[in-house]
Amino acid sequence: GQLGISLSSVISFNSTLAMLLWFWTQLETSLGAIARLKGFEEVTLSENKPRETSVPNEEWPASGAIDFKNVSASYGQGAPALRDISFHINAGEKIGICGRTGSGKSSLLSVLLRIIDIDSGSLAIDGLDLELIRRETIRSRLITIPQDPFILSGSLRLNADPGGNASDESIIAALTKVGLWDILESRGGLEANMNTNPLSQGQLQIFCLARAMLRTGKGKVLVLDEATSSVDSETDLLMQRLIREEFSECTVLTVAHRLDTIMDSDRVIVLDAGKLVEMGSPEELMKREGAFWGLRGGSHSD
Ligand SMILES: Nc1ncnc2c1ncn2[C@@H]1O[C@H](COP(=O)(O)OP(=O)(O)OP(=O)(O)O)[C@@H](O)[C@H]1O
């Protein structure tokens, strides 16, 4: 009897000891993580510059007019990615941005979103100088659809509406419009974890359009960077139609490789080696037989 009690005490002590060790390891790991975060916060400088303090009113940008004046920008020591770019975009205009690989299309959007700094010149939305506004404010007021969709670890609802502002009905309506609701509903609906059953790259791009549609009314500028690069041309057409319908009130900037995507833009910006070489309606530019016409293959037939 005594032996049994001792053995059982030894076994339960053993498991208590194992639990203690496990908790201790967890504690050490957590403390390490906290220390690293604290270190990161101390060492990492805020990306905001001292003068970027303005907080625009809630409605900004109320119209979505964009002005670039002699904007040049570069990545560190390299050659300038943008050289002396000037243009005015009217509120509500649909603008296509095109040019060869490396011509500066993405960089143009990056300066607008204040991801890269400008070396000289100025840029403004609705008359407000972007260099005076906190960067997170700018990014939260512009609606973007990126080239590489990002998915948060969590439910469909969280991913469709990370700000938590939309009703279930409007999320379902947006996903139905883009043609994804049937698939997503069959995979468990709004509560299903998005990482369990990943969507294809093309489906993710369509998903990002629905996510952006849920933000209309919360911004007047939509920025798309090759947002339809992984979908077939039929889906591209559907996405372009939805963008025209759902963002009719917004200024829309679309970077496109596939020129068909931007043929019904109001105007097109053509970049070459960081310079703006042409800007005008697609018809005008095709008639001119210049850079845009050249990118289209130098032919009027398509
Ligand atoms: N992160 C970076 N670091 C350094 N240089 C960069 C970086 N991103 C782009 N560049 C350079 O800036 C210039 C413009 O590139 P950008 O990506 O804006 O062109 P793009 O027209 O969007 O090209 P693509 O069609 O290939 O996406 C190129 O010379 C490129 O090499």
pLDDT higher at 163 or 211:
211
How many angstroms separate the alpha carbon of residue 84 from the centre of ligand 1?
A: 16
Could you count the other beta carbons within 10 Å of the beta carbon of residue 172? 18
The CB of 267 under 6 Å from ligand 1? The reply is no
How many angstroms separate the alpha carbon of residue 105 from the centre of ligand 1?
A: 8
Asked if pLDDT for residue 301 goes beyond 70, the answer is no
C-alpha closest to that of 105 among 124, 122, 81, 86: 81
Q: Looking at ligand 1, which atom is closest to the CA of residue 274?
A: 14
pLDDT at residue number 302: 47
The CB of 74 under 6 Å from ligand 1? The reply is no
Asked if pLDDT for residue 177 goes beyond 80, the answer is yes
Average pLDDT for 139-154: 90
Ligand 1: residue whose CA is nearest its atom 30 = 102
How many angstroms separate the alpha carbon of residue 72 from the centre of ligand 1?
A: 14
Longest dimension (CA), the chain: 102
C-alpha closest to that of 215 among 277, 165, 159: 165
pLDDT at residue number 191: 94
How far is C-alpha 192 from the chain's CA centre? Answer: 23
Could you count the other beta carbons within 10 Å of the beta carbon of residue 19? 10
- Compute the mean pLDDT over every residue in the chain, rounded to the nearest whole number: 90
Average pLDDT for 104-119: 95
Average pLDDT for 253-264: 90
pLDDT at residue number 105: 96
pLDDT at residue number 5: 74
The CB of 103 under 6 Å from ligand 1? The reply is yes
Structure confidence by residue, pLDDT tens digits, 191-204: 999 988 889 988 99
Ligand 1: residue whose CA is nearest its atom 31 = 102
How many angstroms separate the alpha carbon of residue 1 from the centre of ligand 1?
A: 79
The CB of 295 under 6 Å from ligand 1? The reply is no
Average pLDDT for 69-82: 93
Asked if pLDDT for residue 27 goes beyond 90, the answer is no
Query: Taking the CA atoms of the chain, what radius of gyration do you get in angstroms?
Result: 25
Could you count the other beta carbons within 10 Å of the beta carbon of residue 189? 14
Structure confidence by residue, pLDDT tens digits, 117-143: 999 999 999 999 999 999 999 999 999
pLDDT at residue number 25: 87
Amino acid identity, position 243: I
141's CB contacts (< 8 A; 6+ apart) are: 56, 60, 61, 219, 221
Amino acid identity, position 186: S
The whole-model pTM stands at: 0.83
Our mutation pick for probing the ligand 1 site, out of 97, 101, 106, 277, counting the most ligand atoms within 8 A of Cβ, is 106
pLDDT at residue number 237: 86
| Interface ipTM above 0.90 | yes
pLDDT at residue number 300: 58
**Residue ranges of the alpha helices (H) in the chain?**
2-43, 105-112, 135-141, 156-160, 168-177, 181-186, 201-213, 233-246, 282-288, 291-295
Average pLDDT for 170-182: 96
Structure tokens at 245: 């319908």
Asked if pLDDT for residue 225 goes beyond 60, the answer is yes
